[in-house]
Amino acid sequence: MNAMTTPDPGFATDRAALAAALAAILPARCLLVDEEDLRPYECDGLTAYRELPMAVCLPESEGQVVDILRTCHRLRVPVVARGAGTGLSGGAMPHAQGVVLSLARFNRILHVDRASRTAVVQPGVRNLAVSEAAAPFGLYYAPDPSSQIACTLGGNVAENSGGVHCLKYGLTVHNVLRIRVVSIEGEVFEIGSGAPDAPGYDLLALLIGSEGMLGVVTEVTVKLVPKPELAQVVMASFDDVARAGDAVAAIIAAGIIPAGLEMMDKPATAAVEPFVKAGYDLEAEAILLCESDGTPEEVAEEIVRVTEVLTASGARDIRVSQSEAERLRFWAGRKAAFPAVGRITPDYYCMDGTIPRRRLAEMLSAIAAMERKYGLRCANVFHAGDGNLHPLIMYDMAKPGEWERAEAFGAGILELSVALGGSITGEHGVGVEKINQMCVQYTTSELEAFHRVKAAFDERGLLNPGKAVPSLHRCAEYGRMHVHRGDLKFPELERF
């Protein structure tokens, strides 16, 4: 699906002039301009939206990044920074009149400091590689997205990525101390430090999660944490999805903050178990994975408390991992949920909304109703502890109308998330996928404030245009066209 068909008169369209200017900066191995070379960059993990850029740059030094951005600023050419392309919201989808700036060759771990428990890395370093480099020091990097074997730190910073252990250890924003950034004008600046606080505005938190709209990151200093002495997972089975959702709220209400608290419904476990053989209960309507870590004494005490809450919440079966290998199998199943679902359906659409924990059961009931409404199946996996849901809507792009129904299904989930007191994203970002739902999440005055922040960093709007923050005109159009109050968008589906 091509998402950009109308040229923006504010941007340059002279492909030959752009290619010549970039060729003066980069060696031939670092510049792609032929269509067959550009095709692999046309989308990120959200494959439903695609666009070919005018060029792809693969710089090998910060100086080249500076020169590329200065050139694009001068020529009024949009720039989309890209990491590994594992994002799921279209945040790295190219602009048809622009350049993709790939940081894939910025892949060095520059320094691991055992004493300060920090690592300095380039943005193209894989998430898991940081923990692998820190392992000899008994340390690791806590945020662990399901794509951690492939996703990069630059992309994690852009999207403020999370993971199954972020309930206790925080998102990317809580684990990054400093970033080095290049502005669209080619100015290099550093934000943050090793100190616990700094005077002035918190620009570090502003840049993290800004989806490449404010600057291009060339270096990241991350916080490392000690590897716990012991970690064990409690797996609880429930005969009712709503009870499983209520159990999540009960655990947090009891004052327990597990290292991880995840939920999968029956369709998700049915997809995962043949793929990973994690040992999941396939008869359960939902399972919870609750991890405790720390000293052996701390873990033992917390598992007793968690087990008591789960039993009181109606769990029909409770298992505790008895070895590190079994613990890793439990988590491998959860982290493989996305590819596992990909084995049983031609296409799937992964949502990413966040709701208050106490509303989980309500949301799950609503999703079941939406399955009937849109005539599509949905498997649910959740970072349940912080209310971050990932419904996987299954469809077939080759069947007319199915993508449109999947898109409407997803929009319904996101807008219900807002209505329940939550957010349209927890870790995947907005990108192009959720830009219309930003009109539901925020008021006009709030969106105007976002646009003023954007203009302070990028007055010409060249960094990742058309993403994350919608124009007020777009919101006005969405308000006129959008069907409100749950009215059926596809009347032919009344039979479901």
Confidence of residue 240 (pLDDT cuts 50, 70, 90): very high
| pLDDT tens-digit series, residues 268-286 | 999 999 999 999 999 999 9
Give the pLDDT score at 479: 81
Give the pLDDT score at 132: 98
Give the pLDDT score at 29: 97
Name the residue among 218, 220, 154, 214 with its Cα closest to residue 185.
214
Q: State the number of CA atoms in the 13 A half-sphere of 177 facing the CB.
A: 16
Provide the β-strand partners of residue 286. Answer: 238, 265
Write out the two tokens for 476: 């006005």
Write out the two tokens for 478: 């969405």
Would you tell me how many other CB atoms lie within 10 Å of the CB of residue 356?
15
Q: 495 versus 27: which is more confidently predicted?
A: 27
Q: Is the pTM of this model over 0.75?
A: yes
Give the pLDDT score at 357: 86
Q: Is the pLDDT of residue 430 over 80?
A: yes
Give the pLDDT score at 3: 58
Confidence of residue 198 (pLDDT cuts 50, 70, 90): confident
307-333 CB burial, b ≥16 within 10 A, e <16: bebbeebbbbebebbeeeebbebbbeb
Give the pLDDT score at 481: 58
The CATH architecture one would assign to domain 230-333 is 2-Layer Sandwich (3.30)
Confidence of residue 12 (pLDDT cuts 50, 70, 90): confident
Give the pLDDT score at 361: 83
Do the two domains 15-102 and 230-333 of this chain adopt the same fold? no
Please list the alpha-helical segments (H only) found in 183-239: 203-207
Taking residues 249-267, report their average pLDDT.
Answer: 95
Give the pLDDT score at 86: 96
Q: Can you tell me the distance from the alpha carbon of 71 to that of 247, in angstroms, rounded to the nearest whole number?
A: 55
Would you tell me how many other CB atoms lie within 10 Å of the CB of residue 492?
10
Q: Is 375 left (phi over 0), alpha (psi -120 to 50) or beta?
A: left
Q: Is the pLDDT of residue 345 over 70?
A: yes
Give the pLDDT score at 2: 56
Q: Is the pLDDT of residue 1 over 70?
A: no
Write out the two tokens for 447: 């969106």
What fold is seen in the domain 109-226? Answer: 3.30.465
Q: Can you tell me the distance from the alpha carbon of 367 to that of 410, in angstroms, rounded to the nearest whole number?
A: 10
Q: Specify the residue for token string 């049915």.
A: 270
180, containing H or E segment:
strand 176-182
Q: Is the pLDDT of residue 469 over 50?
A: yes
* CATH class as words, domain 345-493: alpha beta
337, containing H or E segment:
helix 337-342
Q: Is the pLDDT of residue 490 over 60?
A: no
Q: Specify the residue for token string 């340390």.
A: 139
Q: Can you tell me the distance from the alpha carbon of 130 to that of 121, in angstroms, rounded to the nearest whole number?
A: 8
| pLDDT tens-digit series, residues 37-94 | 999 999 999 999 999 999 999 999 999 999 999 999 999 999 999 999 999 999 999 9
Residues in CB range of 267: below 8 A, 6 or more apart: 377, 378, 379, 380
The CATH architecture one would assign to domain 15-102 is 2-Layer Sandwich (3.30)
Q: Can you tell me the distance from the alpha carbon of 112 to that of 96, in angstroms, rounded to the nearest whole number?
A: 39
Provide the β-strand partners of residue 264. Answer: 287, 381
Taking residues 459-482, report their average pLDDT.
Answer: 90
| pLDDT tens-digit series, residues 163-188 | 999 999 999 999 999 999 999 999 99
Instruction: Identify how many contiguous H helices and E strands the chain contains and give both numbers.
Output: 17, 19
| pLDDT tens-digit series, residues 362-419 | 898 899 999 999 999 999 999 999 899 999 999 999 999 999 999 999 999 999 999 9
Average pLDDT of the chain, as a whole number:
93
Q: Is the pLDDT of residue 301 over 90?
A: yes
Write out the two tokens for 228: 């716990």
Give the pLDDT score at 195: 82
Q: Is 390 left (phi over 0), alpha (psi -120 to 50) or beta?
A: beta
Q: Are strands 286-294 and 353-354 parallel, antiparallel or unpaired?
A: unpaired
Q: Where are the domains of the chain?
A: 15-102, 109-226, 230-333, 345-493
